[in-house]
Amino acid sequence: MTLVETHLKRRTILKGGAAALATLSAPAVLRAAEPAPIKVGILQPVTGALAQDGEYGRLGAELAIEDINKAGGIKSLGGAKLQMVFGDARSNPEAGTQEVERMQEEGVIGIVGGFASPICLAASQAASRYDLPYLVDVGVSDQITGRGLKNTFRFAPGFSICTAAAIQNLVRINEAAGKPAKTVALVHEDGLFGSGLAKLMATELPKYGFEILDQIAVPTPSRDLSNVTLRLRSLNPDLIIPSTYYGETVLLARTMQQQRVRPKAVYAVLNGAASNRRFVAEFPEAAEGVMDCNHWYDPRNAKSQAVQARVEAAGKPYNYNIPLNYSSVGLLADALERAGAAERGKVIEALNTSTFKDHLMPYGETKFVNGQNMGAAPVSTQVQKGQIKVVYPSDFADAKPMFPANG
Amino acid sequence: MYSPTILIEAMINGLLTGAIYALIALGLTLVYGVLHIINFAHGAILASAMFAVWGLNVLGGIDPYLSILFLAPVFFALGYGVQRLIIGPAAKDDDGNILLITLGLSIFIENALLAGFGSDTRSISSDFSFSVVEAGPFLISSPRLVGFAGSLVVTALLWFIMSRTDAGKAIRAVAKEKLGASLMGIDVGHVYALTFGLGCAALAVAAGLLMPTFYVNPRVGGAFVNIAFTIVVLGGMGSIPGAMIGGLLIGLVESLSGLLLGESLGQIGIFIIFILVLLLKPTGLFGAKA
């Protein structure tokens, strides 16, 4: 009897299961009218040393995907929605590469992000094996777009564009103020980004009459920067140009404030803190007057203002990673729209001929040459009364430069 | 190349920073000396103590120095509990487990901090953070002076506990001869937990002394823990004065070689000394003969 009962029960369950399956499959039939979502890989370091930047980058990409989907998805593909496949690059290139492999298996149409140069270098290389479009969000190393990879694009300015702009902006700002700054001390992190930048500045700045007093390399993380500050105090340069990540810039600025090192100006280049609202909020005195030549959004752009309001309403600072990733996802969506097919080759082709302008940055239309957007440029910012203002070039400026910042 | 004023100020900076390094190394050397384990979670515990100091300051407006009075006993209790409930039982089966346990603990704490506080770097800012003492031509950071004094007080206190109290004597007995001590009626498990607790309490003090000038993020322990390991080996494993002298020495060497060779190469001086000690006196400056 028991056996029969069990048998019966099993049958009942099977019947029930079949009915349930039929019910479940019904919406699937209905859904078939809507095209399958397009998977987009978002790669950011959200754990490890660069996690803070990675979080901002992810937020920018998420907001962009949300907005694109709300606006009806990719219209040329029947309104297909974008679906984020997120990968944590864990602040190192190996993890970044692993995540690219995983995203490849999940069938993404392209990857956006990477943040740090070493991660972008490795991840874009890995993506190139699959002809997978890769859009670098920040990674400034010139090598990234200089290797002739067909799949790699950078919407933002690279290293040489940034340095050239930083020098040009500095020279103009200094000239306009009657050339008060003559001597320079460079403080840089000792990795690929900081050392390369310091080397370039040390060769270029003397051509404009600046004298380089010293180049001081600091490790990341640094435990103590009292000695660096001590050296700066003894050198007494007119200008200090720091190219360091967040923690070290904060440490340097605090120690300088404490040790009363007050150069005519602190003019950072691609700095990890000087254009970070958290730094300004937490150390208003140390941050006041600090200038930076960096990625920044167009403060006059209405769309950017709207995104900024949303980010700030959520209690987060509107740092440059957000508009950069927002714009990069927009660029990919625009390419998909024009490609009219979720095919990698066609998307790459569409990116190559991109004239994207619906972005949040102070750039014109996108124009890619060997994967680098030639329309991209950084701006010079300055912390003025607790606010980060664009001070140069004047086309995008929302304040005048305060130079020299200290008497 | 540098004026004597700068060299002297660099030396002062080095000694002041070295005292904090020493305090961080103190817990490590104690735990190694008694429990014979390398505590890989040391840096993560320091990071959590720094977050605790930061949290008390931001949420409760409590001064970092004042928070030490509250956090040192809390971290002592936490350390005691962790040793009793996690490390101790694991060590019963196989000593090799301990390394994995402390490593796992480190990963757990780091990720818990990441989940709880996010990856942002945070700091405490007060007027005192920026104050300096002017001694002739030298500008000496007041928070670092307090850190130096605090570190000396803790070392002296710990030395007193170890040499003058029953608990200290029990700890030393267990460190020297575990089996003998247990035969004499000493509860070895309790002594282990006591030692681990003391190590954690020292980290809580270090956190309170560091926060007025340093920043915290979930990975901040990494910046200090390597140097602490070096100090432990240099000073002699398990030696309290060794940790202090080793810390001061490392601070001094790091500061001077950082100034003369460049900040990135500051570590070279430390490791040259480290290798020399290993070659000439492998037990460390104050270590007992093996």
Q: CB-based contact (8 Å) between B121 and chain A?
A: yes
Query: What is the band of B185 on the pLDDT scale with cuts at 50, 70, 90?
Result: confident
Where b means 16+ CB within 10 Å and e means fewer, A138-163 reads bbbbbebbeeebebbbbbbbbbebbb
- What is the model's pLDDT at position A403? 92
Over the stretch A296-341, which tens digit does the pLDDT of each residue have?
Answer: 999 999 999 999 999 999 998 899 999 999 999 999 999 999 999 9
Residue A344 confidence class, pLDDT cut points 50, 70, 90: very high
Note whether B263 contacts A260, CB cutoff 8 Å.
Answer: no
Residues A138, A378 contacting (CB under 8 angstroms): no
- B230-251: per-residue pLDDT in tens? 899 888 888 888 999 999 999 9
> Is B115 in the A-facing interface, judged by CB distances under 8 Å?
no
Q: Give the pLDDT confidence of B250-276 residue by residue, as tens digits.
A: 999 988 888 888 777 777 888 888 888
Which residue from A minimizes the CA distance to B124?
A282
* Amino acid letter, A379: V
Residue A322, H or E segment:
helix A321-339
Nearest Cα to Cα of residue A380 among A213, A210, A169, A171:
A169
B4 touching chain A per CB within 8 A: no
CB distance B5 to B137 below 8 Å: yes
pLDDT tens column, A17-61: 555 555 455 554 445 568 999 999 999 999 877 888 899 999 999
Beta bridge partners of A135: A112, A153
CA A224 to chain B, closest CA, distance in angstroms equals: 8
| Closest residue on chain B to A235 (Cα) | B2
- Measured CA to CA, the distance from residue B25 to residue B244 in angstroms comes to 8
pLDDT at residue A18 in the model: 54
Terminal-to-terminal C-alpha distance of chain A: 99
Measure the CA–CA gap between B132 and A257, rounded to whole angstroms: 10
Write down the pLDDT at residue A7. 45
CA–CA distance, B12 with A402 (Å, rounded to integer): 36
* A218·B264 Cβ contact <8 A: yes
- Asked if the C-beta of B271 comes within 8 angstroms of chain A's C-beta atoms, the answer is no
pLDDT number for residue A351: 97
- CA-CA distance, A41 to A20, in Å (whole number)? 34
Q: What secondary structure letter does DSSP report for A208?
A: G
Touching A: B residues 136-175, CB under 8 Å: 139, 141, 144
Q: Name the percent of chain A lying above pLDDT 90.
A: 69
pLDDT at A47: 84
Q: Is the pTM of the predicted complex or chain greater than 0.80?
A: no
Closest CA of chain A from B287, distance in Å: 27
Question: Each residue of B17-76: pLDDT tens digit?
Answer: 999 999 999 989 988 888 888 889 999 999 999 999 999 999 999 999 999 999 999 999
CA atoms within a 13 Å half-sphere pointing along the CA-CB vector of B77:
4
Q: Which residues of B touch A216 (CB under 8 A)?
A: 262-263
Sorting pLDDT into bands at 50, 70 and 90, what band is A1? Answer: very low
Give A262's contacts in chain B (Cβ within 8 Å). Answer: none
Return the structure tokens found at A57.
């980058």
pLDDT over threshold 50, residue B83 = yes
Q: What angle do CA A192, B17, B242 make, to 5 degrees?
A: 115
| Mean residue pLDDT across chain A | 89
CB A26 within 8 A of CB A95: no
pLDDT the model gives residue A2: 41
pLDDT band at A3 (very low <50, low <70, confident <90, very high): very low
Question: Mind telling me how many Å the CA of A5 is from chain B's nearest CA?
Answer: 49
Residue B2 has pLDDT above 80, yes or no: no
Tell me the mean pLDDT in the region B208-226. 88
